[in-house]
Chains A and B, each alone.
Chain A
Amino acid sequence: GEDVEQSLFLSVREGDSSVINCTYTDSSSTYLYWYKQEPGAGLQLLTYIFSNMDMKQDQRLTVLLNKKDKHLSLRIADTQTGDSAIYFCAVPSGNTPLVFGKGTRLSVIA
């Protein structure tokens, strides 16, 4: 089945850029997703990228997709303290539910 891997922790200073990386195994995924989870809350769809795109930018968020290497990244520009959360990479495997990475806990230091 699909396997999604992420680094578990990232710490950055306020105002710097954050880059969260993700690798996956199933190359047939049409969409790849990034979700944000704040403490005690559900998941919020942050952004997504269609598999025929290399890059997608949405305000402070930039998603890069390298299909050859099966590598997905999320860059947050000008990281703010409100960005502190857990970020999940999620990939559908065929017609099955999303498979999530373990999540990257982003800590923003003021």
Chain B
Amino acid sequence: TQLLEQSPQFLSIQEGENLTVYCNSSSVFSSLQWYRQEPGEGPVLLVTVVTGGEVKKLKRLTFQFGDARKDSSLHITAAQPGDTGLYLCAGENYGGATNKLIFGTGTLLAVQP
């Protein structure tokens, strides 16, 4: 069974601070996706990383896919209250009959003004 562990599970920081969320697995994935979910809503896709070692930037968010495609990280610079939410990583194995996502355990981020 493929599992994705996220750390930390909870994070409460002040506006302006930096933070990093980790997503780790013993399994290799074809791609790794990051989502943000707000209360009462569905997950919203932030980014997809495909190549081992790939780095993608989305404004203040930097995503990295591990060289071995088993882990990923999300770094937020100068966090804002609007960044508050549940961050989920999800691994996917492309090319088979299904593209089901294996979701991580989630990181709940609260950014205090």
| Chains A and B belong together in one complex | no
